[in-house]
Amino acid sequence: MAMISATGTFDITSRPEPPFWSFDGVLLGRMEFDKVFHGSLTATSIVYMTYVRTPVESSAGYVAVEWVTGEIDGRSGSFAFLHNGVTTGGDLSLSVAIVPDSGTGELSGIRGSMAIENDAGEHSYTLQYEFTV
Amino acid sequence: MVHKKEKVMDRVARGEFFLDWNPEAPFDDAAGASLSRVTVTKSWSGDIVGSSVAHLLTAMSPVKGSAGYVAVERMDVTIEGRTGTFVLQHCATSAVRGDQVLTVTVVPDTGTEDLRGIVGRLAVTVQGRESPTDRGGRHLYEFTYGLP
């Protein structure tokens, strides 16, 4: 069965915290985000992030867990994403995947992954998903 | 145009680490997955000697055996005589009906002192464990890395 494609945009409100560790220009810190999704995904989420910054501006990383609650194509429930992003030479390599068996309600059994585009602060997404039986 | 010398991962360090698991209270314990922050301190032996602190974000599914975590880990170690710090980034999932997947890589440009410029990836074999967030078992590592 082919994955279903859900697309739209989201808005972000961030709550940055100061770094909790630093050494020789390498910083670790936490951040939280609230997101509101529009489009095929009508939902809100909270993102819990830990980020890595380096003395080289174009080198960085972050990881996060995200809890999403709302509707996808009319089915309501919640699920979790894991984010793993590394920026090398300014190019972001990002994986955002649904945690296996994290779906609840009508989203029970959902699996898939999300691609995110950031066009000067305007975020759009493409969620590819399916349901396991 | 910038020409950077490609760093080659031509060395392998092997050994075992021991860990101490310090969970915080779950911060999002909704009906589905339970999300938590966990701090893990490790002591490294073998070709890597030293300590590390890993800051995990875990997502435990209500289905036993299905879970995931991501982490950043600050390493303060000596590798084959070279001492310094660097940061690893982890992403792991396991599904009760599927595979366990774990990737651990060095975040670029996090190396300091003798380990400045380090690149690498870590493979971990755990003997006797059901999911990536289980704590038991022996943790054997193989770190494939390169230095300028």
What pLDDT, on a 0 to 100 scale, did the predictor assign at position B79? Answer: 97
If one compares A80 and B95, the residue with the highest pLDDT of the two is A80
What pLDDT, on a 0 to 100 scale, did the predictor assign at position B2? Answer: 45
Q: Average pLDDT, stretch B62-89? A: 94
Asked if residues B141 and B48 have their Cβ atoms less than 8 Å apart, the reply is yes
A20 confidence band (pLDDT: 50, 70, 90)? very high
* pLDDT (tens digit per residue) in B45-67: 999 999 999 999 999 888 888 89
Which B-chain residues 7-66 have CB contacts (< 8 A) with chain A? 27-28, 30-33, 35, 37, 55, 57-59, 61-63, 66
What pLDDT, on a 0 to 100 scale, did the predictor assign at position B64? Answer: 83
How distant is the alpha carbon of residue B3 from its chain centre? Answer: 30
The predicted complex's ipTM stands at 0.92
Asked if residues B132 and B124 have their Cβ atoms less than 8 Å apart, the reply is no
Nearest to A39 by CA among A8, A66, A61, A65: A8
If one compares B118 and B137, the residue with the highest pLDDT of the two is B118
Q: Average pLDDT, stretch B31-41? A: 86
Which B-chain residues 118-147 have CB contacts (< 8 A) with chain A? none
